[in-house]
């Protein structure tokens, strides 16, 4: 926490600090296009914009950049809102939509025509592309560039009223076909799309391009600093050109920062959508996805995401952030917040031979080892328990082995020290039942005459609940799955990204596991109830948020 507030200001924050000194307002915006769910990369931008507005007592708008009805949906608008709320941010005023400004944008387009700065081009998309030139060759004027203002007004009106087919005409700015920046070679302002828009329905059949919309939207809303990712750097010139030539009432400035790349992860809406459409995952909320909805369902707390965003910084250099940083912040938050419980993933029956059938010992266990305010819970100890198969070996494999073996001793977490004196094997020679005695004199204290190093977790057989665990692992086996020129990212999918373990046991207190609460199943990891799946399959299903850090080298 301390480190967080002491962190030095990144370059955008420094710009804000300077501008604030000059008595400027601070008004930011987060402008997603509603064409998919938000992911961890958007979280970086959300934390930047909402976080800075919060820190410097400014405002931050939520604005849906909905200029393309072909790709957008109302469902995405709703999902995006709940993801932002989940992160704990509040947008200023009403939600904004680019579509709120369609009329104003249209009037400004007419204004540009009147200024002889825009024209209707009836070249085909292909012809426009060819005449635009290339990176090294200048472009060439369209034959329609010399249309009269009056003609342009007629043609633009014709575009607006449905007099052209899709693709038959576009409105372009008249700038400079020889400009070294391709964006300045008469960019397209309006195109014809005969599609119903989720907000404006069938009111329009012409839609503004991103370039013609974004800066003006910022100006209309009185945005002071417009932060976007690096790939828009080349558009800044155009952004300024429109603001210079239009009678806008405020002058926002665009600044660019590097988008987030995360190792072993995809941060591209388009590619995430492909994974969903091609059924590699179950949907936008699949816990293996880096979508905010997926992370939430997985059990990742919003605070972890905020800490992560603070940890990675904001710069202009291309980078790939190691996913271990995200994992660290998840564990850091969960270690503090998660109540502890015990769960046995692969049960092995263990009979206490010096305890009679029906005898019950009530035990109390703290819900958090470092924080008493979490309180305690009751545990029942009888002669029939389960421990994990991984915690028992017939023979002690090496001197570092701290768990149970035949003839050895181990502490049962929150309970007694037991000694294993016998076992039953199946036909394959695998142990199927252990016989142990417990040492009555070891509850809450160490035995006086000997050292018992190991501690293992357990559940009481009779009171335990059956549960199924969904163990998630990274979706890709390659650090940069989408950065290989000739290999599709789907080639790197991890076949073990989801492992379902059924037939597990959780302690009785988890019968009432609360949705939304992440528990630490001691020695295993952090888990949370999957409400949807549990209801659907009528059993307790836990998602593993993340395993505990494991530094044990066998």
Partner RNA sequence: UGGGGUGUAGCCAAGUGGUAAGGCAACGGGUUUUGAUCCCGUGAUUCGCAGGUUCGAACCCUGCCACCCCAGCCA
Instruction: Map the footprint of RNA across residues 466-495, applying CB under 7 A.
Output: none
CB under 7 A: which stretch of 83-91, 154-162, 277-285, 321-329 binds RNA? 321-329
Q: Is 17 among the residues that bind RNA (CB under 7 A)?
A: no
Q: Is 20 among the residues that bind RNA (CB under 7 A)?
A: no
Q: Is 317 among the residues that bind RNA (CB under 7 A)?
A: yes
Q: Is 448 among the residues that bind RNA (CB under 7 A)?
A: no
Q: Is 427 among the residues that bind RNA (CB under 7 A)?
A: no
**At its nearest, how many Å lie between RNA and the CB of residue 91?**
17
**At its nearest, how many Å lie between RNA and the CB of residue 99?**
11
Residue 464 Cα distances to 217, 510, 511, 535, angstroms: 58, 9, 8, 19
Buried b (16+ CB within 10 A) or exposed e, 444-463: eeeeeeeebebbbbbbbbeb
- Select from 54, 176, 240, 332 the one that contacts RNA (CB under 7 A): 332
How far is it, in rounded angstroms, from Cα 266 to Cα 475?
9
Work out the angle between the directed axes of helices 40-55 and 74-87 (0-180°, nearest 10).
60
Tokens of 391: 């915690």
Inter-residue contact 255 to 130 (CB < 8 Å): no
**At its nearest, how many Å lie between RNA and the CB of residue 218?**
12
The smaller minimum CB distance to RNA, of residues 276 and 314, is found at: 314
Between residue 100 and residue 129, which ones bind RNA under the rule CB under 7 A?
A: 123-125, 128-129
CB under 7 A: which stretch of 89-97, 225-233, 420-428, 538-546 binds RNA? 225-233
Between residue 284 and residue 313, which ones bind RNA under the rule CB under 7 A?
A: 311-313
Q: Is 207 among the residues that bind RNA (CB under 7 A)?
A: yes
- Select from 196, 315, 378, 536 the one that contacts RNA (CB under 7 A): 315
**At its nearest, how many Å lie between RNA and the CB of residue 254?**
11
434 phi/psi in degrees, rounded to 5: -110, 145
Between residue 507 and residue 536, which ones bind RNA under the rule CB under 7 A?
A: 520, 522-523
Q: Is 83 among the residues that bind RNA (CB under 7 A)?
A: no
Residues 6+ apart with CB under 8 A from 178: 133, 138, 139, 185
Determine the 3-state secondary structure of 149 from DSSP: helix
The single residue listed with the structure tokens 């390659």 is 478
Q: Is 328 among the residues that bind RNA (CB under 7 A)?
A: yes
The smaller minimum CB distance to RNA, of residues 358 and 444, is found at: 444
Inter-residue contact 303 to 334 (CB < 8 Å): no
- Select from 234, 372, 430, 466 the one that contacts RNA (CB under 7 A): 234
Q: Is 221 among the residues that bind RNA (CB under 7 A)?
A: no
CB under 7 A: which stretch of 19-27, 89-97, 149-157, 436-444 binds RNA? 436-444
Beta bridge partner(s), residue 418: 410, 438
The single residue listed with the structure tokens 């301390």 is 2
Nearest alpha carbon to residue 466 among 503, 509, 500: 503
Q: Is 331 among the residues that bind RNA (CB under 7 A)?
A: yes
Q: Is 5 among the residues that bind RNA (CB under 7 A)?
A: no
Between residue 387 and residue 426, which ones bind RNA under the rule CB under 7 A?
A: 400-403, 411, 413-415
Residues 6+ apart with CB under 8 A from 104: 216, 220
How far is it, in rounded angstroms, from Cα 60 to Cα 256?
17
Between residue 33 and residue 52, which ones bind RNA under the rule CB under 7 A?
A: 33
């Amino acid at each position: 926490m301390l480190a967080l507030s002491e962190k030095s200001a990144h370059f955008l924050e420094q710009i804000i600090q300077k501008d604030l000194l000059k008595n400027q307002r601070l008004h930011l915006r987060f402008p997603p296009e509603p064409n998919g769910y938000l992911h961890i990369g958007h979280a970086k931008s959300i934390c930047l914009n909402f976080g800075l507005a919060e820190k410097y007592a400014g405002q931050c708008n939520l604005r849906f950049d909905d200029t393309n009805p072909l790709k957008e949906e109302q469902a995405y608008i709703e999902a995006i809102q709940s993801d932002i709320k989940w992160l704990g941010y509040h947008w200023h005023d009403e939600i904004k939509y680019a579509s709120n400004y369609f009329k104003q944008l249209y009037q400004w387009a007419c204004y540009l025509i009147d200024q002889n700065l825009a024209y209707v081009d009836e070249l085909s998309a292909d012809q426009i592309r060819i005449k635009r030139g290339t990176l090294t060759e200048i472009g060439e004027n369209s034959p329609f560039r010399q249309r009269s203002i009056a003609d342009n007004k007629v043609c633009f009106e014709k575009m607006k009223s449905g007099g052209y087919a899709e693709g038959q005409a576009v409105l372009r700015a008249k700038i400079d076909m020889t400009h070294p920046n391709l964006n300045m070679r008469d960019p397209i302002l309006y195109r014809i799309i005969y599609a119903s828009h989720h907000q404006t329905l069938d009111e329009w059949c012409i839609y503004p391009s991103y370039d013609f919309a974004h800066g003006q939207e910022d100006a209309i809303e009185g945005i002071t600093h417009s932060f976007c990712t690096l790939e828009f750097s080349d558009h800044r010139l155009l952004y300024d050109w429109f603001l210079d030539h239009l009678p806008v009432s405020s002058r926002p400035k665009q600044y660019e920062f590097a988008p987030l790349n995360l190792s072993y992860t995809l941060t591209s809406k388009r590619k995430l959508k492909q994974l969903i459409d091609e059924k590699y995952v179950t949907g936008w909320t699949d816990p293996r996805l880096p979508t905010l909805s997926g992370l939430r369902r997985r059990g990742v707390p919003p605070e972890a995401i905020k800490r992560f965003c603070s940890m990675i910084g904001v710069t202009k250099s291309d980078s790939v952030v190691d996913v271990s940083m995200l994992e660290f912040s998840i564990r850091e938050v969960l270690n503090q917040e998660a109540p502890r419980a015990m769960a046995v993933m692969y049960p092995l029956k263990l009979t206490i031979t010096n305890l009679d059938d029906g005898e019950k010992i009530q035990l109390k266990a703290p819900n958090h080892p470092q924080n008493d305010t979490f309180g305690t819970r009751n545990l029942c100890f009888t002669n029939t328990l389960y421990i994990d198969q991984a915690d028992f070996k017939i023979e002690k494999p090496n001197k570092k082995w701290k768990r149970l073996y035949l003839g050895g001793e181990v502490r049962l977490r929150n309970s007694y020290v037991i000694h294993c004196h016998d076992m039953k094997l199946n036909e394959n020679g695998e142990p199927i039942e252990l016989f142990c005695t417990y040492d009555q004199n070891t509850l809450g204290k160490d035995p006086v005459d000997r050292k018992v190093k190991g501690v293992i977790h357990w559940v009481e057989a009779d009171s335990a609940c059956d549960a199924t665990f969904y163990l998630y692992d990274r979706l890709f086996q390659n650090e940069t799955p989408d950065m290989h020129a000739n290999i599709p990212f789907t080639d790197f999918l991890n076949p073990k990204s989801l492992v379902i373990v059924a037939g597990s046991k959780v302690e009785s207190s988890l019968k009432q596991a609360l949705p939304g609460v992440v528990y630490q199943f001691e020695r295993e990891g952090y888990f949370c109830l999957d409400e949807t799946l549990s209801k659907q399959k009528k059993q307790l299903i836990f998602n593993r948020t993340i395993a505990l850090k494991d530094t044990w080298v066998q």
